[in-house]
Amino acid sequence: MKFKYSWLPFILLGLTACDVNNDLDPIVAAEEEVIAVNANGVDFSNYIAVGASFTAGFTDNALFIAAQENSFPNILSQKFALAGGGTFTQPLMNDNIGGLLFGGTQIQGPRLFFDGSGPASLATLGAVPTTDAANPVTGDINNYGMPGAKSFHFVAPGYGSAAGLIATPRTANPYFVRVASSATTTVLADAVAKNPTFFTLSEFGGNDVLGYALSGGESDMTAPNYNPITPTATFDAVFATTLGALTGTGAKGVVGNVPYITSLAHFTTVPYNPLDPRGDSDAATQLAAQIPLLNNVYGAINQVYAGAGQAERSIVFATDAPNALVIYDEDAFDLTMAITNTLAASPTFVPFVESLGLPAAAAPLVAQLLGQQYGKARSATANDLFVLPSSSVIGTVNTTAATALVTQSGGLLPATLAGQFSAEGITLPLADKWVLTPQEQEELRIATDAYNTTIETAVNADPNLALVDLKGLLEEAASDTGVQFDDFIFNGNLVTGGLVSLDGVHLTAKGYALMANRILEAIDGAFGSNFKDATNGLAKANNYPTNYSPFLR
């Protein structure tokens, strides 16, 4: 094999010895045909964007200059400029750190970056936000993307009032405080006052379901993270008002539908069964050592589940496979009293209590505490979704819960034992705020479908409007095949997928470029323009980053 290329020098020698004509005419590459953008009469001279965080360019859990410059509206404006589009001005932040101050006090933290193993905050590198919401942005703006805004916020007077940022509950949005024309105006009023010739209305309704999902479907109205789904009737009324005001200027526009937000990486990254006793990590070793005790405790409780005809709730830990999390399910049938009474009556329960180092007289109290802890518990399944922040608490000791057990026992339970029964997702069922159960996911689906029916009905009835299928885009990304963008195949995975940024909800710059292209294609389909076929009419994937360097400040 080492002689395979031995003939090459002889060929080269022969070539150099020949009488070669070096005066041959060079081969001229064929010129590519340049196809100009044809707007087909659509007036892009005064384009405004109305929406929430995607419209603003929110990325990696923050808003910052580079992300704003790669927002889909800014990308659109660059393509519109090829067809007579005018200047597109955004309310840029002060830095590439992200986060916000208000009166010098930090109210939102810096952006995330990839530290080699996962998302981390720039705050860990000493970065501090410099943009203060108390300092208004002067001059005209075209981008009315308000991160966090729900549908009804767009028509809420005072949503841009600085005083509303210190009210309880907060009634204002710091991003609108920066740009509002007055303390009493609305986002819609300021946008319409620009008298647009063309507009995009995107993510309208997204936060109306996203807030509930991020809270884990919290239904307790007294909980600090309570964030209910906006009623369909409220959404319908506000959407009609908003769309009517925008089209009332004579503008044409593109409206996006609402994706199923549970397909985002924020809800699909944490597995339902991350408790693996195999391996040599400290966590695996500790879990393996606890399994006999866990199965002893849960064995008696599983009998109650089975006796109630709910054996599917059974909690069993294996030594040779990943184990499912233990969760609290607010929709589960409450078996608190059944567990308490069954354990207290069992002849084997007193010896079990004594094996924990407690006196026999503590058995009734321990039975009551276990009934309260597992009365609405069950083993998680693949149909449950876990919010991304749950990854940082799974397996940790909930000190608040442990302290409560000590208090409820009147000090009978030692702190060490209380801690053993307060391991998140193992001995302490994960709270509602960490998990979206199938019932809660169904609530989100029903609301999203209702919003989309309203959106699609209105858009399809107006020839001056185009519908862009953002729901379909995210469904493509979540599929097994992913979604193609130039030479790339994107999926919805965190960090590696290319489409969703490090916060698991918002898009990367490449993701926003793909979103811009889908909007341009929708414009072509509705109004007869040719962005898709024109030279440089669409954004190119290679022109946009996936991640931003931590040194970008």
DSSP letters for 72-85? HHHHHHHHHGGGT-
Task: Check residue 13 and give its pLDDT.
Answer: 35
pLDDT tens readout for residues 272-284: 999 999 988 999 9
Burial of residue 454 (CB within 10 Å: 0-12, 13-18, 19+) is buried
- What pLDDT, on the 0 to 100 scale, is given for residue 405? 95
Average pLDDT over residues 211-224: 93
pLDDT tens profile 304-347 = 999 999 999 999 999 999 999 999 999 999 999 999 999 999 99
In contact, 141 and 105? CB cutoff 8 Å: no
Q: For residue 507, give the 3-state DSSP assignment.
A: strand
Domain boundaries defined on the chain: 47-97+140-155+182-269+439-543, 282-436
Beta strands in 356-457 (DSSP E): 377-379, 385-386, 435-436
**Where does residue 113 fall: left (phi above 0), alpha (psi -120 to 50 degrees), or beta otherwise?**
beta
Q: Is the pLDDT of residue 11 over 50?
A: no
Overall pTM > 0.85 = yes
Please give the Cα distance from 106 to 128 (Å, whole number): 8
Please give the Cα distance from 206 to 228 (Å, whole number).
13
Question: What is the C-alpha end-to-end distance of the chain, expressed in Å?
Answer: 55
* CA–CA distance, 155 with 140 (Å, rounded to integer): 20
pLDDT digits (tens, 9 = 90+) for 60-101: 999 999 999 999 999 999 999 999 999 999 999 999 999 999
List the beta bridge partners of residue 386: 270, 435
Q: Which residue has the higher pLDDT, 552 or 23?
A: 552
Give strand pairing partners of 270: 386
Element (H, E) at 439: helix 438-460
The answer to whether the CB of 263 falls within 8 A of the CB of 250 is no
The answer to whether residues 88 and 77 touch, using CB atoms and an 8 Å cutoff, is yes
Distance CA 246, CA 415 (A): 61
Provide the pLDDT for residue 279.
87
Percent of the chain at pLDDT exceeding 70: 94
- Output b/e per residue, 117-144; b: 16+ Cβ within 10 A: eebebbbeeebebebbbeeebeeebbbb
Given a cut of 90, whether residue 142 has pLDDT beyond it is yes
- Determine contact, residues 55/154, Cβ cutoff 8 Å: no
CA-based radius of gyration for the chain: 29
List the structure tokens of 69: 């410059």
DSSP 177-220: HTT-SSSS--HHHHHHTT--SEEEEESTTHHHHHHHHHTTS---
Q: Is the pLDDT of residue 12 over 90?
A: no
pLDDT tens profile 162-180: 999 999 999 999 999 999 9
Mean pLDDT across the stretch 419-425? Answer: 96
| Dist. CA 252–CA 43, nearest whole Å | 8
Token pair, residue 266, equals 């924020």
Average pLDDT of span 285-297: 94
- The helix, strand and coil proportions of the chain, stated in percent and rounded to the nearest 5, come to 40, 10, 45
Please give the backbone phi and psi of residue 41, each rounded to the nearest 5 degrees, phi first: 90, -5
Mean pLDDT of the chain: 94
Amino acid at 542: N
Task: Read off the pLDDT of each residue in 438-458 and give the average, rounded to a whole number.
Answer: 98
Directed axis angle between helix 336-345 and helix 282-307, to 10°?
90
522 pLDDT above the threshold of 70: yes
* Averaged pLDDT for residues 97-111: 97
The token pair at 202 is 């995107």
Q: What is the CATH number of domain 47-97+140-155+182-269+439-543?
A: 3.40.50.1110
User: Cis omega before residue 169 (within 30°)?
Assistant: yes
Q: Are 145 and 191 in contact (CB under 8 A)?
A: no
